């Protein structure tokens, strides 16, 4: 065990801090003692230092699993600026950059390596790690490992098993939001003792919590008034991408420096908006939940929820981004019952039918003993979201039916940067012949050539991996530029999965249980808004924390009475709408072949198949978006 003095020396030299914060010292002590730990720290609680500091004091490389590329890049850039040997392996790296990082890893030159959960789930990457001394594994956003976590991610499911296989004793699971049930799940999966779970209080005395019931017609005027009154910078959270664009445009027209931020924007545009917000050029970001993780801005003065939060976990995480400098900040929620329909519809439409799950299983498990698939193609052909596809495949891996064999691009667009004669000059006869085979379909040297890896490898009688290496060498030498597409995942069947009908039924029940959990989370949000108790006290109780006295800095403590959010009675479907729906049914579109597909379409919920068919351009798309999904599904069932 290292002395406290040495720990402080490393802390001061590499990070510029004199002392560790509350909770950080306990986590570091557990890890340095060689045991796994869980850190449940609220947003801004200093989680990253809990693994960065031990990584510098331990022999070997710390592997950091993070779900966000932007967050990985920011963390690595920050560490490198402090002369810490850190790197990341992700899809944004060029072939040369990737090889350079792998070389440094194998030579033991890296103290921290950041990867995605998908990368760690890759069997080929894990083989690479066998030649690496790992000091610890840190799993960020660890609540994603639990199916009861508020933003569950299938690839996290495998991490507990993978960490055991890698035989790394020091595991650090980190999260900003974990209920007692999720905390117990995380500890079980990573073998963490109850005493080694370090949990900081979620109580933030500087946050002024407000809930203002309103109608849809009142909301924009209230937003203008609040943003005119409350200090900025500000974040306005909305549910849908279209709402983000609409509200940001509205604010800009009314004189505010506001921009929309959501997952539908190009990654470079999202980064530009984030940097403008960090630099103060943009004072208000109107965002979906895609915005926030890793945004290290301490002076956010206002957070407004324009739409209902999806869960108390999400709400707590989002308001936690305000006032991280310790100064007063306002967190207001413009509570409108009309949001319930949209949020519930999202939950219902995400749940696959048993028939869809069985279709997926048959497509995957009847291909052959070794196969590769495109998650995008599977999602489209089965018309279920990629998250569902990933969850099914992760479940099959967990029960030992499948083994992941790595992932790759199967289609390259290649453009020569110099004449083919010069590319071939000086190469051995065999290599020259192979390259001539690759470029045989090129009718003009300066055009793009599409190379399907599997087809081309068969035609020129070369293993697929060798062909990829050959093309990568051409890129590295400056002979060509590449555009890669059609990402595929390779698998091997390890054991027969049994009766697919029984398996599909079991998995479908699991998705229904998750649906019920998400609906319950939404109900908890409503309970918070309509309850008489101190808002802070209710939130803390949700996370298993007891608060003896009311907080004194929320609406309930100021005697602002609660208002129960009442659902509006659903409107009647107009005869003209019924006629349009009948006409649509008569078209017998393949992508609207089941009542659930039709209901999703009419409620304005996109699906993989409808997106590929561009049905969102159809006049009937979203026609019944203001009605409860189940009611629309019953209508659709009556027409089939």
131 and 103 housed in the same domain? yes
76 and 184 housed in the same domain? yes
> Which domain-ending residue is among 170, 199, 228?
199
Number of domains observed in the structure of the chain = 5
Ordered DSSP codes for 501-521: HHHHHHHHHHHHHHHHHHHHH
81 and 220 housed in the same domain? no
> Among candidates 130, 141, 144, 89, which has minimal Cα distance to 112?
89
- Cα–Cα distance measured from residue 423 to residue 404, given in angstroms and rounded to the nearest whole number: 36
For the chain, residues with pLDDT lower than 50 are none
- Cα–Cα distance measured from residue 616 to residue 610, given in angstroms and rounded to the nearest whole number: 7
pLDDT at 2: 52
Could you tell me if residue 95 is inside a domain?
yes
Contact 623, 580 (CB under 8 A): yes
| CATH number where 436 lies | 1.10.10
Helix, strand, coil shares, percent, the chain, to 5:
50, 15, 35
Could you tell me if residue 556 is inside a domain?
no
Could you tell me if residue 570 is inside a domain?
no
| CATH number where 72 lies | 3.40.50.300
CB atoms within 10 A of CB 131: 9
Could you tell me if residue 167 is inside a domain?
yes
pLDDT digits (tens, 9 = 90+) for 372-418: 999 999 999 999 998 899 999 989 988 889 988 878 888 999 999 98
Could you tell me if residue 523 is inside a domain?
no
Q: Which residues lie across from 114 on neighbouring strands? A: 64, 88
pLDDT at 28: 92
- Cα–Cα distance measured from residue 24 to residue 199, given in angstroms and rounded to the nearest whole number: 10
Mean pLDDT over the full length of the chain: 89
Contact 490, 408 (CB under 8 A): yes
- Cα–Cα distance measured from residue 35 to residue 20, given in angstroms and rounded to the nearest whole number: 19
Could you tell me if residue 310 is inside a domain?
yes
503 and 484 housed in the same domain? no
473 and 498 housed in the same domain? no
- Cα–Cα distance measured from residue 232 to residue 255, given in angstroms and rounded to the nearest whole number: 14
- Cα–Cα distance measured from residue 78 to residue 49, given in angstroms and rounded to the nearest whole number: 12
221 and 171 housed in the same domain? no
107 and 36 housed in the same domain? yes
290 and 436 housed in the same domain? no
| C-alpha torsion sign, points 46, 48, 51, 56 | negative
93 and 177 housed in the same domain? yes
498 and 360 housed in the same domain? yes
Could you tell me if residue 547 is inside a domain?
no
Whether the model clears a pTM of 0.75, i.e. scores above it, the answer is: yes
Could you tell me if residue 567 is inside a domain?
no
pLDDT at 4: 62
Q: How many CA atoms lie within 13 A of 546 on its CB side?
A: 1
232 and 131 housed in the same domain? no
99 and 162 housed in the same domain? yes
Domain extent for 386: 347-401+494-516
């Amino acid at each position: 065990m290292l002395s406290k003095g040495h720990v402080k020396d490393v802390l001061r030299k590499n990070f510029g801090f004199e002392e560790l914060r509350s909770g950080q010292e306990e986590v570091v002590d557990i890890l340095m003692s060689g045991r796994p730990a869980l850190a449940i720290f609220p947003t801004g609680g200093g989680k990253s230092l809990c693994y960065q500091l031990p990584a510098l004091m331990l022999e070997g490389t710390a592997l950091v699993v993070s779900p966000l590329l932007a967050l990985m890049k920011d963390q690595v850039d920050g560490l490198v600026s402090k002369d810490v040997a850190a790197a990341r392996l992700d899809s944004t790296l060029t072939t040369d950059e990737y090889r350079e990082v792998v070389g440094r890893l194998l030579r033991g030159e890296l103290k921290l390596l950041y990867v995605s959960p998908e990368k760690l789930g890759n069997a080929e990457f894990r083989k690479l790690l066998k030649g690496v001394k790992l000091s610890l594994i840190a799993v960020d956003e660890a609540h994603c490992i639990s199916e009861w976590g508020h933003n569950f991610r299938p690839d996290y499911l495998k991490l507990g098993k993978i960490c055991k296989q890698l035989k790394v004793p020091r595991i650090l699971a980190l999260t900003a939001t974990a209920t007692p049930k999720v905390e117990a799940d995380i500890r079980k999966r990573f073998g963490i003792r109850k005493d080694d779970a370090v949990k900081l209080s979620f109580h933030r005395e500087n946050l002024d919590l407000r809930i203002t019931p309103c109608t849809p017609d009142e909301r924009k005027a209230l937003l203008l008034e609040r943003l005119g009154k409350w200090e900025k910078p500000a974040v306005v959270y909305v549910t849908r991408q279209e709402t983000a664009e609409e509200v940001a445009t509205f604010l800009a027209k009314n004189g505010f420096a506001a921009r929309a931020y959501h997952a539908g924007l190009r990654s470079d545009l999202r980064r530009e908006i984030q940097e403008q917000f960090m630099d103060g050029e943009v004072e208000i970001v109107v965002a979906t939940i895609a915005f926030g993780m890793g945004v290290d801005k301490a002076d956010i003065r206002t957070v407004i929820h324009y739409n209902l939060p999806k869960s108390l976990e999400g709400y707590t995480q989002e308001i936690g981004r305000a006032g991280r400098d310790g100064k007063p900040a306002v967190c207001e929620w413009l509570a409108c019952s009309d949001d319930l329909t949209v949020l519930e519809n999202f939950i219902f439409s995400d749940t696959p039918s048993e028939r869809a799950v069985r279709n997926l299983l048959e497509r995957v498990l009847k291909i052959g003993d070794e196969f590769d698939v495109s998650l995008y193609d599977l999602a489209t052909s089965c018309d279920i979201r990629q998250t569902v596809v990933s969850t099914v495949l992760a479940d099959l891996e967990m029960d030992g039916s499948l083994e992941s064999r790595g992932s790759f691009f199967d289609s390259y667009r290649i453009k020569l940067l110099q004449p083919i004669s010069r590319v071939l000059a000086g190469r051995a006869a065999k290599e020259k012949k192979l390259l001539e085979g690759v470029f045989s379909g090129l009718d003009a040297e300066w055009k793009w050539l599409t190379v399907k890896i599997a087809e081309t490898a068969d035609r020129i009688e070369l293993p697929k991996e060798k062909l990829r290496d050959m093309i990568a060498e051409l890129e590295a030498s400056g002979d060509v530029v590449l555009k890669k597409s059609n990402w595929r995942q390779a698998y091997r069947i390890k054991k027969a999965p049994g009766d697919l009908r029984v398996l599909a039924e079991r998995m479908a029940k699991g998705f229904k249980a998750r649906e019920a959990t998400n609906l319950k989370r939404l109900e908890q949000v409503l309970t918070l808004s309509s309850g008489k108790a101190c808002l802070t006290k209710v939130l803390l109780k949700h996370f298993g924390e007891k608060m003896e006295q009311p907080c004194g800095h929320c609406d309930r403590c100021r005697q602002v009475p609660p208002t129960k959010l009442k659902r509006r009675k659903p409107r009647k479907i107009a005869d003209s709408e019924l006629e349009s729906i009948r006409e649509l049914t008569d078209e017998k579109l393949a992508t609207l072949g089941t009542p659930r597909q039709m209901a999703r379409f009419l409620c304005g919920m996109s699906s993989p198949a409808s997106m590929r068919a561009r049905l969102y351009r159809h006049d009937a798309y979203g026609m019944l978006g203001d009605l409860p999904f189940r009611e629309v599904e019953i209508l659709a069932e009556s027409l089939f």
